[in-house]
Structure 1
Amino acid sequence: MPPSNTFIVYSLVSSTSIAALFMAGVGPGLVWVGACMIVVAIYAARHPELKGKKGPGLKQDLIILWRAIPSLLTMVIVIGGILIGWFTATESSAIAVVYCLILGFAYKAIKVADLPRIILEASRTTAIVMLLVGVSSALSWVMAFARIPQMVSNLMLGISNNGTVILIIMMLILLVVGTFMDPTPAILIFVPIFLPIVMTFGIHPVHFGTMVVYNLCVGLLTPPVGNVLFIASRVAGLRIEPVVAKLVWFLLALVVGLFVVVFTPAISLAIPTAMGLIT
């Protein structure tokens, strides 16, 4: 879902419209949410003893929503500004940073004294990403010079000349890769290889982008390098093993959702097409 750093990386690698990718991510994002909701509903029906207390009520919900509006406007500002043409995707990132910084002070979540630490942490993250971008660019040039994409394409086409089969193989490869590699380096390494192949089968690069991002985000929930899994476990004060055991059904539902997105292009392409972002 926008504003997604992963989509921005894919946009840089594939030369695809970031606005189109942001809008294309809405449908798959809803599929992701729907898959998780189904699992939660089934689990809750089978374990009524886990039913929580009654919620705070409509009035309190509306108060919470009202207080959250400034934060929710971040997405509106980023997407709206890009679509209207007020600023580019790169400029929108800077505007989002400034807006979030203002919100941080308004909510008293950060202080002026925190700025050096925040800037240092952001610089470290940016340096890591830029290092990966630089290395992957060099790697992409080497692979192109060595004709590795053509070799991989010929290898896959040697297995089958059916676009559906090739797409399934790619998705399975990325599911495995996502278990031990973060989305950013995975996109930088594999998209330059896979994208030319899928385009020969008439698959839109925006649709392929939603497949790749959805796929690799599943990997964030899986060991051994599932960053989101480890962070959630640490916040909850739980060990990884019991969390993974409960997560299995969610992962299965998300994989089913992945292939729904893969084989239903309209889920990804309907919104950007309706908005005139792609043809």
Structure 2
Amino acid sequence: MLGGLLVLLALRVPVAISLLVPSLVYVLLDPTASLGIAVQRTVSGVNNFAILAVPLFILLGNLANISGLSDRLYTTAIAFLGHIRGSLGYVNIATSFGFSWMSGAAIADAAAMGKIQVPAMKKRGYSEEFSLGITGASSMIAPMIPPSIPAIIYAVTAGVSVGALFMAGILPALVLIACLCVMVWWLMRKQRHLVLPRTGWAARGRSLLGSLPALGAAVIILGGILSGVFTPTEAAGVGVLYIFVIALIYGSLTWRKVYRILLGSVETTGSVLLIVAAAALFGWVLAREQAPQLAAEFILNFTSSPIVFLILVNVLLLIIGAVLEPTAAILILVPVLGPVAETFGISPVHFGVVVIFNLLIGLLTPPVGLVLFVLSSVTNVPVTRVIKGVVPFFIPMLATLVVITFVPALSMWLPAVLGFT
């Protein structure tokens, strides 16, 4: 099964087909299985109320991006941070953080911020490599905080609370933001010319008022989940409706834009849920063959230390993330590694944050590195130069990974305080 999957992936067969073919071969060769079971398992993989949040949050992110709400966040960040040396680096991070509450995906963030911020930074005298690097690195914030799409996929796969995983990613995301800010300060510390004129308080107030309605999506999503008014899936639906109304009020929607938003959302949803459906059958086969138990036995024979286990997992996931996109990697690896982590006494919520952030780093790692290609596409810069710009920012990302891995309280404190664990 695993050999067939690896061969098909090496041949660049789409991930969903690579998962489905070995699974169907197994079903056809096993006399105790049947195609009826295969169909049932495949359909049950997506017949889940929590999974419904995925297309809704994808729609929400596309709506916020194409309707121009990200532009308002950028203007506000410029107004408050523009007078600081190397300000557009901090603006990049702040805008990504604001947009993250609506996008939930690194690719959406990279596409939106790449089109706005990279040209603006180059025009103001920032190097192309720095502009691309900080834009790629700051896009990692989005999948760490609500409405994180990888968190939803992990929660459904591992059987943990979506709300708990949403809350668990917030403090690690703030650590990532702090590490990125330190890196920007270090790289810009001698660039005295990279300063914009100070914006007056009246202009700051106007820009803040213009962006507050867009930021209200975060209040609705988080507030609704924390207060128990609605589930994460229902929060996604309410968030979409809210952003749609705000975009109409701003007058930033046209029929052409609505068509682009819906088309993009359908394409992304189709690709994600096809992988989820195929992975459900693949995971059932692995469970039937007791792969999690065999993996646990093998690792326990190798080491009895949770720290060594986490180090091994980090190395494995960094490699896997470089060749496989996060959704597929989560669906393939979590059913195997999750039970092993529990035998070491590692919380599935903490383990989820570790897994997700590892795989996000893979989005900036060749040869697959989807964010690299997105940035290349929206900026018309060769991907080799995008990679060159991103490389220095692996330092803050890996530093964040170390903190997330070995300080579990960072992930567990907020869910515990809010009653999710």
TM-score above 0.5, yes or no: yes
Distance 2:280 2:150 in 1: 16
The aligned residue for residue 17 of structure 1 is 161
Offset, 1:206 = 1.0
Please, which moves more after superposition, 52-61 or 210-219? 52-61
Offset, 1:134 = 0.8
The aligned residue for residue 267 of structure 1 is 410
Query: For residues 102 and 173 of structure 1, do their structure 2 counterparts lie closer, same or farther at Cα, with a shift above 3 Å needed?
Result: same
Distance 1:112 1:43 in 2: 43
Q: Does residue 1:225 correspond to 2:368, yes or no?
A: yes
1:163-182 map, 5 Å: 163-182=306-325
Offset, 1:58 = 4.2
| 1:35–1:250 Cα contact (<8 Å) kept | no
Offset, 1:186 = 1.0
The aligned residue for residue 287 of structure 2 is 144
1:230-241 map, 5 Å: 230-241=373-384
Aligned-residue sequence identity (percent) comes to 36
Q: Does residue 1:79 correspond to 2:226, yes or no?
A: no
Offset, 1:118 = 2.6
Distance 1:192 1:218 in 2: 21
The aligned residue for residue 41 of structure 1 is 185
CA deviation string 1:26-80 (max 9, x = no partner)? 11101111111111111112x4266233343444333322211111111211121
SS at match of 2:323: coil
CA deviation string 1:123-179 (max 9, x = no partner)? 222121111111111011000011111222222223212111111111111111111
SS at match of 2:366: coil
Letter in 1 for 2:184: V
Please, which moves more after superposition, 119-128 or 6-15? 119-128
Q: Does residue 1:160 correspond to 2:303, yes or no?
A: yes
Distance 1:48 1:133 in 2: 47
| 2:146–2:166 Cα contact (<8 Å) kept | yes
1:76-225 map, 5 Å: 76-225=219-368
Distance 1:106 1:20 in 2: 33
Please, which moves more after superposition, 228-237 or 84-93? 228-237
Offset, 1:182 = 1.5
Instruction: Could you tell me which runs of 5 or more consecutive residues in structure 2 were left unpaired when the two chains were aligned.
Output: 1-144
1:30 to 162, 174, 179: 174
| 2:226–2:418 Cα contact (<8 Å) kept | no
CA deviation string 1:66-112 (max 9, x = no partner)? 21111111121112112222221212222222222222222233213
| 2:179–2:397 Cα contact (<8 Å) kept | yes
Distance 1:16 1:103 in 2: 33
Distance 1:34 1:136 in 2: 36
Query: For residues 221 and 56 of structure 1, do their structure 2 counterparts lie closer, same or farther at Cα, with a shift above 3 Å needed?
Result: farther
Distance 1:246 1:56 in 2: 29
The aligned residue for residue 63 of structure 1 is 206
Which of these two proteins has the greater Rg computed from alpha carbons? 2
Query: For residues 239 and 116 of structure 1, do their structure 2 counterparts lie closer, same or farther at Cα, with a shift above 3 Å needed?
Result: closer
Instruction: Could you tell me which runs of 5 or more consecutive residues in structure 1 were left unpaired when the two chains were aligned.
Output: none
Offset, 1:265 = 1.0
Relative CO higher for 1 or 2, CA cutoff 8 Å, sep ≥ 6? Answer: 1
Letter in 1 for 2:185: A
Offset, 1:114 = 3.5
Distance 2:407 2:183 in 1: 21
| 2:375–2:386 Cα contact (<8 Å) kept | no
2:194 to 31, 42, 51: 51
Q: Does residue 1:7 correspond to 2:151, yes or no?
A: yes
Letter in 1 for 2:178: G
Distance 1:195 1:236 in 2: 38
| 2:376–2:382 Cα contact (<8 Å) kept | yes
Letter in 2 for 1:76: V
| 2:279–2:332 Cα contact (<8 Å) kept | yes
Distance 2:335 2:200 in 1: 50
| 1:82–1:92 Cα contact (<8 Å) kept | yes
SS at match of 1:48: coil
Letter in 2 for 1:26: I
Query: For residues 196 and 50 of structure 1, do their structure 2 counterparts lie closer, same or farther at Cα, with a shift above 3 Å needed?
Result: farther
| 1:136–1:188 Cα contact (<8 Å) kept | yes
The aligned residue for residue 250 of structure 1 is 393
The RMSD of aligned alpha carbons is 1.8
Distance 1:117 1:246 in 2: 30
